[in-house]
Amino acid sequence: MLHKKLATIEDVAALAGVSIATVSRALNEPTKVADSTRRRVSEAIAQTGYTTNAMARNLRMRRSNMILILAPDVGDPNFSNILVGLETEASKRGYGLLIGNTQNDPLREADYLRFISSNQADGLILLTGHLPYGIGEAEGSMRLPPMVAVGEPVPNADIPFIGVDNLEAARIATEHLIAQGHKRIAFIGRSSGRAVNSLRERGYRAALQGAGIAVDPAMIIDGDGTTESGRAAAELMFVRDHLPTAFFCVNDATALGVMISLNARRYDLPADFSVMGFDDISFSSFVTPALTTMKQPRLNIGERAMDMLLALLEGGEPREREVLFRAELIVRNSVKAPRTRF
Amino acid sequence: MLHKKLATIEDVAALAGVSIATVSRALNEPTKVADSTRRRVSEAIAQTGYTTNAMARNLRMRRSNMILILAPDVGDPNFSNILVGLETEASKRGYGLLIGNTQNDPLREADYLRFISSNQADGLILLTGHLPYGIGEAEGSMRLPPMVAVGEPVPNADIPFIGVDNLEAARIATEHLIAQGHKRIAFIGRSSGRAVNSLRERGYRAALQGAGIAVDPAMIIDGDGTTESGRAAAELMFVRDHLPTAFFCVNDATALGVMISLNARRYDLPADFSVMGFDDISFSSFVTPALTTMKQPRLNIGERAMDMLLALLEGGEPREREVLFRAELIVRNSVKAPRTRF
DNA sequence: AGGCTGGATGTAAACCTTTACAGAGCGCAT
DNA sequence: ATGCGCTCTGTAAAGGTTTACATCCAGCCT
């Protein structure tokens, strides 16, 4: 009602004295129309202010040029840069991004699939770590759209994954602690359900075994990756009075929780305890002591993931099952050699 | 090519033995079709797995049910929760969110407007604090779409604004410092170009004047709201050796920068200096000392903004020119009475 | 019996493109 | 002259809805 009345291809055609087919061709296959005609069309377009109506085009082409992003929480500092990467690549290739914040609510996940089933999105990016609820239910109801998983792999499903090599990165992190002289290293944030947590735990175990250090089950504490879970885990270790010299945390948020607990207990970091994180989210460099951690190349991950999805969309078969980036060890001040106190 | 061949309204009509008009009515105006028919249609829909093709509908209705969000950086911790609020309300009302990350690049802003001009988005949410470049240029080319500004008001344009009452909140923050006994209070983050910064500065001035404290120009330092600018501002004050007892920072990121500078100089916070922030972004509670700040009700702001935009879209005239929320003073540990050192 | 009302349904146009196919015009070789 | 090939353009169908308008029919009133 505000848009007055937009010019259509017909207005342009009339003004240029050609048929609508020619106008369309002038726009989409310029080589196929004579120079003089093309000029007239361009002029008519400029004069009318014509823009292609994307809805009509989409209907005809059966393509929306839109990608649906499913994420549990777009505010998560770990996602934000991935999002930017996704967006950069998508926008460069003429695609738009539809965001679906699911809060891990199955209902919302299912609801967002309406964009897929109603043809409003051509592909799907999964940041959730699992297939959206209700995607494969009714038999003929919905074919799986092209999709890729980013950050968190999707277990038990044949979906291309783009992310960091979590096992390898966790191994490197743990080896860094070992290299500083730590032998009693806790792993904070075990969670059998989450693929990322499991992989990082395996990397931790691999490093210990590689160094001939026995894995002590009491040094492995559950956690869901929140700051609060990190705090609680550290507290638990103090209650049990079975302490490590270093904490390897499943992510920076957890590490922050551990540091809060240690600070509250008036320990001197990193002299009394070393803390290592994973992710390198923005404030990790601001905290005191600044957190040593593994940095994910989030921007690259996002770009690569979008590139892969679009290739899938335009090309057909996926070329790779997974693309693993290397995480980079960022050395700051939260890790030091252990005190030789015994 | 993966979607086999979706069922159309015609398939449903054939199966139910009615015309396509009836199917459409059964879906959109159920009261207008007989009970028995409606049942047959429902059954046919279930059997075929039919879903309305949104593109066709959008084309016909001249509506996309899509909202474009223009933000300089979706990763900004200050935006993230606003985004969640926007998303919650939009999704509740059946709208989708298109994200446009502009990085403050005029080209990208202009590019994103293609969604508006090509009818792929019905409305616009501006988190940028200014009209997108290229919106009012060519005369008839593009009518202004319905839009609202969130977080940052848009100067010199008649656009509804939803956000916090920055002037009032800054006054409250400053008064809190004054109430603790501070008289030499710096304002870090002056920026004449940014509406938010200006408003907060005015609140700061109002509080000082209200308390009969003269405004000292040397206590007002420029800054663009980044952590680095906060650090640099604090350093500058030390170089000039003209020091406040408290720093009121235009936002938490700036406050963090100030604290980094103070920590590096081995000051004891908050004993030596008080620091007050604005925004209450997530890590403000984790930093040491935990930051006293003004909390923006971001979720509410987002929801309200979307509500307002949709009302504009569906109703017509805006009911309010602006909706101001009150920011809440969050008292933590970074503010204390000044040392009586002279 | 005739006419009127109102509810349920069908017909067809409109929304705006893209593109397969056909046709026109022209140069050139046969 | 005829035919062929090439370039450029036009015609019309198709994509899947929504909805104004027409139609039909049953019931009811006079």
Of the two residues B341 and A257, the one the predictor is more confident about is: A257
- Tens of pLDDT, residues A93-117: 999 999 999 988 999 999 999 999 8
Tell me A284's DSSP state: G
List the single residue in A with minimal CA-CA distance to B46.
A141
**Nearest Cβ partner for B83 among A74, A112, A117:** A74
Q: Which of residues 249-278 of B touch A (CB under 8 A)?
A: 256, 260, 263
- A311–chain B Cβ distance below 8 A for any pair: no
pLDDT above 90 covers what percent of chain B?
80
- Edge-to-edge order in the sheet of strand B66-71: A322-325, A161-164, A147-150, A123-126, A66-71, A96-101, B96-101, B66-71, B123-126, B147-150, B161-164, B322-325
Average pLDDT rounded to a whole number, residues A64-79: 92
Q: Buried (b) or exposed (e) across A197-222, using 16+ Cβ within 10 A?
A: bbbbbebbbbbbeeeebeeeeebbbe
Residue B302 has a pLDDT of 97
Euclidean distance between CA atoms B317 and A2, whole angstroms: 11
Q: How confident is the model at residue B157 (pLDDT cuts 50, 70, 90)?
A: confident
Quick one: average pLDDT of A239-256?
96
Rounded to whole angstroms, how far apart are CA atoms A220 and A201? 9
| A141 band by pLDDT with thresholds 50, 70 and 90 | very low
Residue A78 confidence (pLDDT):
87
Q: Report whether pLDDT(B223) > 80.
A: yes
Per-residue pLDDT at A139: 43
> Which one of A71-85, B9-23, B108-122, B304-318 scores highest in mean pLDDT?
B9-23
pLDDT recorded at residue B1: 32
3-state SS, one letter per residue, for A158-187: CCCEEEECHHHHHHHHHHHHHHCCCCCEEE
Nucleotides of D under 7 A from a protein CB: 7-12, 14-20
Is B3's CB less than 7 Å from nucleic acid strand D? Answer: no
Q: Flag whether pLDDT at A2 surpasses 90.
A: no
Minimum distance, in Å, between the CA of residue B209 and any CA atom of chain A: 35
Structure tokens belonging to residue B298: 């971001």
- Share above pLDDT 90 across residues of chain A, in percent, rounded to a whole number: 80
The overall average pLDDT reported for chain A is: 92
Distance from CA of B141 to the nearest CA of A (A): 5
Domains of chain B: 9-52 (1.10.260), 64-164+299-325 (3.40.50.2300), 166-295 (3.40.50.2300)
What's the average model confidence in pLDDT over A205-211?
98
Which pLDDT score is estimated for B140?
43
Averaged confidence pLDDT in chain B: 92
A290–chain B nearest CA distance, Å: 11
Residues of A in contact with B64 (CB under 8 A): 55
Task: Give per-residue pLDDT as tens, B288-341.
Answer: 899 999 999 999 999 999 999 999 998 777 778 899 999 999 999 999 999 875
Question: Which whole number is the average pLDDT over A265-287?
Answer: 93
Q: DSSP secondary-structure letter at B134? A: T
Strand C lies under 7 A from the Cβ of residue A226: no
Query: Is pLDDT above 70 for A342?
Result: no
Using a pLDDT cut of 70, give the percent of chain B over it.
96
Token reading at B284: 């403000």
Closest CA to B63 of A62, A117, A67, A1: A1
Residue A35 pLDDT > 70, yes or no? yes
Q: Can you tell me which residue has the tokens 């967006």?
A: A87
Chain A positions touching B140 (Cβ under 8 A) are 4, 49
